[in-house]
Amino acid sequence: EVQLVQSGAEVKKPGESLKISCKGSGDTFTTYWIGWVRQMPGKGLEWLGIIYPGDSDTRYSPSFQGRVTISADKSISTAYLQWSSLKASDTAMYYCARQGMRGSFDIWGQGTMVTVSS
């Protein structure tokens, strides 16, 4: 069974850096795009960006370009989402998801809750 397993919840202070991870199984990281989705407390889904681990081709939403960095290490089947300087407004659940062959997100990670508070 193909799975995406995300790193655990994080509590950080404003201005701190953070890198969360999403580890896949099978051929996921050589054949598929891996995307990141934000869900702020009580709100809807927001598409942050996506990476093709095979060649590191990356696309960002204009709303998040420059605020986050998406990367991947295909040798260990892991994608990353990182911030260099967190803000309180980054507090949210972050999901990684596999973009299937038809373009939709067919497999999702369990989510990583990021809390930024002084």
Partner 1 sequence: EIVMTQSPATLSVSPGERATLSCRASQYIGFNFAWYQQKPGQPPRLLIFAASTRATGVPVRFSGSGSGTEFSLTITGLQSEDFATYYCQQYDNWPRTFGQGTRVEI
Nearer CB in complex with partner 1: 111/115: 111
Question: Is residue 61 involved in binding partner 1 (CB under 8 A)?
Answer: yes
Distance, in Å, from the CA atom of 50 to the CA atom of 60, rounded to the nearest integer, reads 7
Whole-angstrom distance, CA of residue 80 vs CA of residue 69: 8
Structure tokens belonging to residue 36:
């990141």
- CB-nearer residue toward partner 1: 62 or 75: 62
Query: CB count, 10 Å around CB of 5?
Result: 13
Yes or no: say if 18 and 114 are a contact pair by the CB < 8 Å rule. yes
Tell me the number of residues near partner 1 by CB under 8 A.
26
Q: Is 104 in the site for partner 1 (CB under 8 A)?
A: yes
Cα separation, 96 vs 38, in Å, equals 9
Give 60 or 80: the residue with its C-beta nearer to partner 1.
60
Decide the pairing of beta strands 33-39 and 57-60: unpaired
Among the candidate windows 8-16, 24-32, 39-47, 67-75, which touches partner 1 by CB under 8 A? 39-47
Give me the amino acid identity at 79. Answer: A
Q: How far is the CB of 16 from partner 1 (least distance, A)?
A: 26
* x-marked contacts with partner 1 along 17-36 as a string, rule CB under 8 A: ------------------x-
Binding residues for partner 1 (CB under 8 A)? 35, 37, 44-47, 49-50, 59-63, 95, 97, 99-100, 102-106, 108-111
